[in-house]
Amino acid sequence: MKMDLFIGKPHKYANHGLGYALSHEMKSDFIIDKYAHLSQPILDNGADELGAGEGGMRLAYLAGRIRPSFIILPDVLHKDKETRKRGEKFFEEMKGTGYHGWFMGVIQAKTLDKGLESYKWWAKSGMVDRIGITYDTQISGKYSSEFSWGNRLSFLYEIAKSGLYEKYDLGVHMLGTLDVHELYILNHYSEFIDNGVHRMVESHDTTAPWACPTRFNSQPHKISFGRAKSWERLDFDRIFSPAQLDVAYWNTACYLSACMIPKSKWHEYIPGHLVDHYWEDLAFERYYE
């Protein structure tokens, strides 16, 4: 399964590639129009930042302006029943509005049984074409003790093991990340390819490459943050210095490699003149061998 990678970056640099529009950061007509011209944008309701995602007329208005490929239905952090309720309400409100894109539901359950039940509920609802699983899911399992960020991989493993994906064919979007190493393992370790986890994951979004002020760690058989995720949330109005851009492009190359994004698409994420330099001179091609 080829993964689509949506990288959130300051507005000034969101000029091409897959668009990631965070609803509460769409503060002006100029910004809204800019995201409307990006490729297949996702409209995120902002629950991770706000606690409860935006919905109603505000989200519907942005959907009409940006025309996203996906709208993440309004969700509430770690409150699955309220998330379903709000998601269903917004879905009904969007009927007849002329929106022709897809919807994404989010699982906010806290236990494995309820998480699997939530996946099944969304799959049978007829509302969504993809399901979002948060970076900080509280559902623990097989990999939770091995990795500090292992909860989500554990949950993905259980979805694959349960046969729900085989039955309903509802792909997964990974909402945010605690470490790029999670994406590297998912896309490079045969354990996750052989057990069916890898092919469930269709997309991922992150602001980490632009939010982290230091370079990620790139080793022969590992890509990771190389530090605690203790930086401030991304300032979407920020202007980067040349040195800061260098860090952001390096970190982006790390994500592209971790997610196995084909080299032919790298120019959508970093300046075209840097692609061969990163691929050959800085040896990022080794992650594809």
| Interatomic CA distance for residues 147 and 236, integer angstroms | 30
Domain that holds residue 206: 4-288
Burial 34-52, CB ≥16 within 10 A → b, else e: bbbebeebbbbbbbbeeeb
Residue 161 pairs with which residues in a beta bridge? none
DSSP 37: T
**What pLDDT does residue 56 have?**
85
**What pLDDT does residue 169 have?**
96
Closest CA to 229 of 166, 179, 164: 179
Helix (H) or strand (E) holding 128: none
Give the count of domains, the chain. Answer: 1
Report the greatest alpha carbon distance in the chain.
52
How many of the other CB atoms lie within 10 Å of CB of 57? Answer: 9
Closest CA to 262 of 289, 288, 223, 281: 288
| Interatomic CA distance for residues 260 and 189, integer angstroms | 12
Q: DSSP 3-state assignment of 160? A: helix
Cα dihedral 146, 150, 155, 159 sign = negative
Q: Tens of pLDDT along the chain (289 residues)? A: 689 999 999 999 999 889 999 999 999 999 999 999 999 999 998 866 666 667 789 999 999 999 999 999 999 999 999 999 999 999 999 998 999 999 999 999 999 999 999 999 999 999 999 999 999 999 999 999 999 999 999 999 999 999 999 999 999 999 999 999 999 999 999 999 999 999 999 999 999 999 999 999 999 999 999 999 999 999 999 999 999 999 999 999 999 999 999 999 999 999 999 999 999 999 999 999 9
What crossing angle do the helices spanning 150-162 and 112-125 adopt, rounded to 10°? 60
| pTM for the whole structure | 0.95
**What pLDDT does residue 96 have?**
86
Q: For residue 136, which amino acid is it?
A: D
Q: DSSP 3-state assignment of 223? A: strand
**Residue 197 backbone phi and psi in degrees, to 5:** -70, -45
> What CATH number has the domain bearing residue 245?
3.20.20
Q: DSSP 3-state assignment of 156? A: helix
**What pLDDT does residue 231 have?**
97
* Distances in whole angstroms, Cα of residue 75 to Cα of each of 8, 97, 280: 19, 21, 42
**What pLDDT does residue 64 have?**
95
- Given a contact cutoff of 8 angstroms between Cβ atoms, the answer to whether 9 and 208 are in contact is no
